[in-house]
């Protein structure tokens, strides 16, 4: 097992004592996370706008923007900035991500603000003299950090597509950092559980662990250093981060902890506007993430394989077998072909073609499951890092945004005086092609480290458009954290609505399973599936492994007939859907 340092549980996790068993599994989760809200199995309904994120203050920041006349991008940028304050596990200024935007008028754009390897990065930088991966080197500390993209990406989105302006969308985050907010039970527990990682770096220990005294639920968490950083961004724009005073603070931290990110790397960083990947499933249009994410390619490949098949019931042996076989093939292709398309040639057209899917489908229908291969792999890929949020505004514009520090709390390093954590996104590269990363993902040459290359991601922000009309309106907005499990979580929630006809609350709550080709095992959520189905899968040759939960899908559905917005925060998270 690779890696070191405790990553802690994602803030949303429901305590083990609260977990119900058996048939009450799904309903019990909804009740357990309800807190002061009414326990309900209904999605949150709203007439105009909807924001669903993994943290309540951040969702409310988004709705504040919508009520102030902002559009979905204003709300999405404000949510991203607020999560950097209230959800330090994955919300960030020091990481990167992807924002998928669809306009009600019919066009879409993808903002790629993925982190980038420093110019001094080398292919073998995480290998020892014998060519073996040095445990933890790409995960903990400043050398694990790639050049952050979040500030550039959110600013590019706001300046190009927002209405309210950069200074306005920063306001909720500045307020939350300066005045503080009450720590939830989930955040208190998550911070405490991350002490193995955060305790290694004095600034992180000071800010996030109260110098070892820890935050208790209900205590107010004020972050004056982070407030100062956000105020710098407000006063001087995103250049304060890449060339100005914040850049100087990042450089000082890099020097202290021997990181590779240079002032030139920061100054050169640019978020990029790309075309979203487009697929089709039973008449619906699927918009998703192009490279440097693997998410959209693998999602569309799997949907193409499954499209004409009779999937039956969602938790039946028949549907699970077909989906597992689609997952296995898409993840094998991910390992072989996917990387940053600005550096390597990625056969996106072939991988997402229906003819290729037909060939894979024929293979699946003809074959028994492959015999299990390979040994077990690290539990580390169980980390529920990264965070996703979904926004719809009153005009029907939509944003799906997934961003990340990689590991929960990233590299563990806080930029001194600036109050934000740095990512450990270098671990998303193949430190040694053919060797699993933190998520157990085996990756190939296409994702080897190179200067200024972007590491391959699994983040899959996705928007589904309706199946009628010339300009079909948005039907679903979704995405998830979860490393290598992200793509399958999106696949399953999407199929739950489009193929199994669940409403959005049922779809995000339904139990999940996951196969990523290697290790050759099917991970199933505990208590989620009937013993009979699991037994049939075992008899068919699948090796099963139980896990408490997979992914956290924060999603919005729009009813095609009435236009009502339905928001569902995943009961596996501490999230909240807020509409107006
Ligand atoms: N850091 C997780 C991902 O981008 O897939």
| Closest atom, ligand 1, to C-alpha of 97 | 4
List 285, 386, 404, 462, catalytic entry:
386
- Candidates 90, 87, 89, 60; CA nearest to 75 is 60
- Candidates 57, 275, 276, 324; CA nearest to 187 is 57
What pLDDT is attached to residue 579?
A: 98
Best substitution site from 298, 402, 428 to test ligand 1's pocket, by max atoms within 8 Å of Cβ?
428
Q: Say how far residue 222 (Cα) sits from the centre of its chain.
A: 26
How far does residue 439's CA lie from ligand 1's centre (Å)? 9
Strand pairing category for 108-113 and 284-288: unpaired
What pLDDT is attached to residue 66?
A: 98
Rounded Cα–Cα distance for residues 122 and 452 (Å): 10
The helices-and-strands tally (H runs, E runs) of the chain is 19, 19
Rounded Cα–Cα distance for residues 162 and 48 (Å): 18
Upper half-sphere CA count for residue 93 (Cβ side, 13 Å) = 32
Residue 78 and residue 64 in contact, taking contact as beta carbons nearer than 8 Å:
yes
How far does residue 80's CA lie from ligand 1's centre (Å)? 16
DSSP state of 263: H
Residue 208, φ and ψ in degrees, nearest 5 = -95, -20
Catalytic residue status for 404: no
Q: For the chain, how many residues are written?
A: 580
Best substitution site from 99, 483, 516, 552 to test ligand 1's pocket, by max atoms within 8 Å of Cβ?
483
Rounded Cα–Cα distance for residues 368 and 204 (Å): 51
Rounded Cα–Cα distance for residues 153 and 94 (Å): 12
Structure tokens at 377: 């792999």
Beta bridge partners of 280: 285
How far does residue 395's CA lie from ligand 1's centre (Å)? 31
Residue 38 and residue 412 in contact, taking contact as beta carbons nearer than 8 Å:
no
| Closest atom, ligand 1, to C-alpha of 439 | 2
Q: What is the pLDDT along the chain (580 residues), one digit of tens a residue?
A: 223 233 344 444 333 322 333 333 333 333 333 334 455 679 999 999 999 999 999 999 999 999 999 999 999 999 999 999 999 999 999 999 999 999 999 999 999 999 999 999 999 999 999 999 999 999 999 999 999 999 999 999 999 999 999 999 999 999 999 999 999 999 999 999 999 999 999 999 999 999 999 999 999 999 999 999 999 999 999 999 999 999 999 999 999 999 999 999 999 999 999 999 999 999 999 999 999 999 999 999 999 999 999 998 998 999 999 999 999 999 999 999 999 999 999 999 999 999 999 999 999 998 765 544 332 232 333 445 799 999 999 999 999 999 999 999 999 999 999 999 999 999 999 999 888 888 888 888 999 999 999 999 999 999 999 988 777 899 999 999 999 999 999 999 999 999 999 999 999 999 999 999 999 899 999 999 999 999 999 999 999 999 999 999 999 999 999 999 999 999 999 999 999 9
Residue 305 and residue 364 in contact, taking contact as beta carbons nearer than 8 Å:
yes
State if pTM tops 0.85: yes
How far does residue 32's CA lie from ligand 1's centre (Å)? 28
- Candidates 505, 549, 567; CA nearest to 15 is 549
What pLDDT is attached to residue 468?
A: 81
Rounded Cα–Cα distance for residues 177 and 228 (Å): 9
User: With helix as H, strand as E and coil as C, how does 290-303 read?
Assistant: CCCECHHHHHHHHH
Q: Name the closest-CA residue to atom 3, ligand 1.
A: 457
Residue 227 and residue 177 in contact, taking contact as beta carbons nearer than 8 Å:
yes
Q: Helix or strand or coil: residue 546?
A: strand
- Candidates 163, 168, 152, 159; CA nearest to 98 is 152
Rounded Cα–Cα distance for residues 306 and 495 (Å): 10
Structure tokens at 70: 């902002």
What pLDDT is attached to residue 18?
A: 27
Supply angle C-alpha 518, 309, 278, rounded to 5: 70
| Closest atom, ligand 1, to C-alpha of 114 | 4
CA dihedral 350, 352, 356, 359 (to 10 degrees): 160
Rounded Cα–Cα distance for residues 67 and 44 (Å): 17
- Name the strands in the sheet holding 387-392, side by side, starting at the edge strand that comes first in the sequence: 272-274, 108-113, 96-102, 398-404, 387-392, 50-53, 576-579
| Closest atom, ligand 1, to C-alpha of 295 | 5
Rounded Cα–Cα distance for residues 321 and 88 (Å): 37
**Which amino acids bring their CB within 6 angstroms of ligand 1?**
386, 404, 406, 428, 457-459, 483
Dihedral sign for Cα atoms in the order 149, 151, 153, 156: negative
Residue 208 and residue 185 in contact, taking contact as beta carbons nearer than 8 Å:
no
Rounded Cα–Cα distance for residues 158 and 48 (Å): 21
How far does residue 460's CA lie from ligand 1's centre (Å)? 9
Dihedral sign for Cα atoms in the order 163, 166, 167, 173: positive
Label residue 517 left, alpha or beta by phi (over 0 means left) and psi (-120 to 50 means alpha): left
């Amino acid at each position: 097992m690779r890696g070191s340092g405790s990553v802690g549980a994602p803030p949303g996790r429901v305590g083990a004592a609260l977990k119900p068993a058996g048939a009450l599994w799904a309903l019990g989760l909804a009740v357990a996370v309800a807190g002061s809200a009414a326990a309900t199995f209904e999605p949150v309904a709203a007439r105009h706008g909807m924001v669903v994120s993994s943290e309540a203050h951040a969702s409310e920041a988004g709705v504040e923007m919508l009520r102030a006349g902002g559009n979905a991008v204003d709300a999405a940028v404000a949510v991203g900035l607020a999560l950097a304050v209230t959800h330090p596990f994955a919300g960030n200024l020091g990481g990167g991500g992807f924002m998928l935007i669809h306009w009600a008028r019919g066009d879409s754009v993808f903002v790629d603000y993925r982190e980038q390897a420093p110019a001094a990065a080398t292919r073998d930088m995480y290998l020892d003299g014998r060519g073996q991966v040095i445990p933890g080197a790409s995960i903990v500390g400043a050398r694990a950090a790639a050049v952050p993209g979040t500030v550039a990406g959110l600013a590019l989105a706001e300046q190009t597509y927002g209405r309210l302006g950069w200074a306005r969308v920063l306001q909720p985050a500045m307020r939350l950092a300066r005045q503080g907010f009450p720590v939830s039970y989930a955040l208190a527990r998550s911070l405490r559980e991350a002490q193995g990682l955060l305790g290694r770096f004095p600034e992180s220990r000071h800010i996030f662990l109260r110098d070892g005294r820890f935050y208790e639920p209900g205590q107010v968490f004020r972050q004056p250093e982070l407030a100062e950083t956000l105020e710098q961004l407000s006063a001087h724009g995103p250049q304060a981060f890449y060339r100005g005073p914040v850049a100087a603070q990042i450089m000082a931290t890099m020097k202290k902890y021997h990181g590779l990110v240079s002032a030139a790397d920061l100054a050169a960083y640019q978020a990029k506007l790309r075309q979203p990947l487009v697929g089709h499933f039973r008449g619906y249009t699927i918009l998703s993430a192009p490279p440097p994410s693997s998410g959209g390619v693998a999602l569309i490949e799997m949907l193409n394989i499954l499209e004409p098949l009779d999937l039956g019931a969602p938790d039946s042996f028949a549907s699970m077998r077909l989906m597992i076989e689609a997952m296995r093939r898409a993840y094998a292709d991910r390992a072989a072909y996917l990387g940053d398309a600005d550096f390597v040639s990625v056969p996106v057209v072939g991988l997402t073609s229906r003819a290729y899917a037909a060939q894979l489908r024929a293979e699946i229908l003809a074959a028994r499951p492959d015999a299990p291969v390979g040994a077990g792999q690290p539990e580390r890929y169980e980390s529920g890092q990264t965070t996703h949020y979904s926004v719809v505004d009153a005009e029907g514009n939509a944003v799906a945004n997934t961003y990340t520090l990689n590991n929960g709390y990233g590299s563990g390093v806080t930029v001194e005086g600036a109050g934000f954590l740095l990512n450990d996104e270098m671990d998303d590269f193949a430190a040694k092609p053919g060797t699993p990363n933190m998520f157990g993902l085996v990756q190939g040459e296409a994702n080897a480290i190179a200067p200024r290359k972007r590491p391959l991601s699994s983040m899959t922000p996705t928007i589904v458009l309706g199946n009628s009309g010339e300009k079909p309106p948005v039907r679903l907005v979704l995405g998830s954290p979860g490393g290598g499990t992200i793509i399958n979580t999106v696949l399953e929630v999407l199929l739950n609505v489009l193929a199994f006809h669940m409403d959005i609350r049922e779809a995000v709550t339904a139990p999940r399973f996951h196969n990523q080709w290697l290790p050759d095992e099917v991970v199933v959520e505990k208590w989620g599936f009937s013993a009979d189905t699991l037994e049939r899968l075992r008899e068919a040759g699948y090796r099963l492994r139980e896990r408490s939960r997979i992914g956290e899908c924060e999603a919005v559905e729009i009813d095609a007939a009435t236009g009502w917005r339905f928001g569902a925060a995943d009961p596996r998270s501490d999230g909240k859907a807020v509409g107006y």
